[in-house]
Amino acid sequence: MYIIVVGAGKVGYYLAKELVEEQHEVLVIEQNPAKCADISEELGDIVMQGDGCEASTLERAGVGRCEMIIAVTGDDEDNLVVCQVARHRFQVPRTVARVNNPKNEDIFKKLGIDTTVSATSVIMAHIEQELPTHPLIPLMTLKGGGLEMVEVRVPPESFVVGKPIRDILLPHQSLISLIIDSEGHPRIPTGETVIHAGDEVVAVTMRESEGALRAALTSPKGMTSPGSV
Amino acid sequence: MKVIIMGCGRVGAELAVMLERGGHVVTVLDMDPGAFGPLGYLPDDFRGIRKVGNGIDQDVLRQSGIEQADAFVSATRGDNRNVMACQVAKHVFGVPRVVSRVFDPIREEMYRSLGLRTINPTRIQARLLKEALEKEEEPVSAGPGAQQET
């Protein structure tokens, strides 16, 4: 797959390296000549100097045949514009943007960026995972349809502990797709699979059912009726 | 009308003064505190609000009163900052009138086609300069007893 990476900071550098190792065709676009020199010295001739927000630069980079563009500069406005130009002017099928300020994630999604990655949000999610008050962690939003993939750690006092999945009431349009036990072993569950305290449950749910799903899996009373939110 | 102007360079400051004279309530936003100092372009008697902060930051925009604003103009040197701030103003805060300056003609065209109101100084200035060059020099009007330079 031909992938263009815009920005050769630490994130861009290691990303390009990994992608090359995975046999992808990679081109890094970077403005700073010194950073370009570093990359070509260490990773070979896979770097082009230029402004990735300029249509002419993207054209020179062969953006027309690229399947994915990943903008990982340190400036959110640049990452947004790279992805918007790639999407709207060159019809690049997949756009990925690094978001430095996590508050920008929503507007990026609203403006049609396929995937946003925020280191701050990821770290916050890990912190919240350790806090008993936030047992539900959003893992990813699936584009369109309002579906979310979430992770819930089942607390010992939960109603569902010791029960097989077929006996658990879940909100509509919610599906338990993976269970990771407290030793870290993942299992794909069946109706017979019994939930234990400390299990991490990965589920797909509608965004508006998140609260109900959390209640179903963590509260001592469980869910009283299916679909109640 | 309550207007927020992002970018207090020559254009932002000039616009701020014009709007204030026209009776509008103006807030000027700039990342650089120096833009509001003695070397900046705003006159001392400008009575509007001067705010230091980055206009692509939603918290800064909120503190600047964007939720009550009738209009938002971005006039910084950076095209990307301008179009991002305007898209935030329009799509997050629902500001009714949003105008962005965009120097790059290609980007300007694209954002206009995406529904943003844009001004492209590059094309406008080039056209004005071309027109000025092509115009016949007007003959010096020799009024009675007066020899003026044009």
Q: Residue A155 has what DSSP assignment?
A: P
Asked if B113 reaches chain A (Cβ–Cβ under 8 Å), the answer is yes
**In terms of domains, do A6 and A117 share one?**
yes
Q: Distance, in angstroms, between A107 CA and closest chain B CA?
A: 7
CB within 8 Å: B78 and A77: yes
**In terms of domains, do A10 and A114 share one?**
yes
Nearest chain A residue to B115, by CA? A111
CB within 8 Å: B106 and A111: no
Q: Distance, in angstroms, between A50 CA and closest chain B CA?
A: 15
Distance CA A134, CA A139 (A): 13
CB within 8 Å: A89 and B104: no
pLDDT at residue A225 in the model: 53
Portion of chain B with pLDDT greater than 70, in percent = 91
Distance CA B4, CA B26 (A): 6
Q: What angle do CA B118, B123, B127 make, to 5 degrees?
A: 135
Of A102, A122, A142, which residue constitutes the final position of a domain?
A: A122
pLDDT at residue A131 in the model: 64
**ipTM associated with this complex:** 0.86
Residues of the domain holding A40: 2-122
Q: Which two tokens stand for residue A176?
A: 């338990």
Of A65, A87, A122, which residue constitutes the final position of a domain?
A: A122
CATH superfamily of B2-121: NAD(P)-binding Rossmann-like Domain (3.40.50.720)
CB within 8 Å: A107 and B87: yes
Nearest chain B residue to A55, by CA? B106
**In terms of domains, do A209 and A143 share one?**
yes
Which residues of chain A are modeled with pLDDT < 50? 227-229
**In terms of domains, do A170 and A111 share one?**
no
pTM over 0.80: no
Which residues is A5 bridged to in the sheet?
Answer: A28, A70
Taking 70 as the threshold, does the pLDDT of residue B141 lie above it?
Answer: no
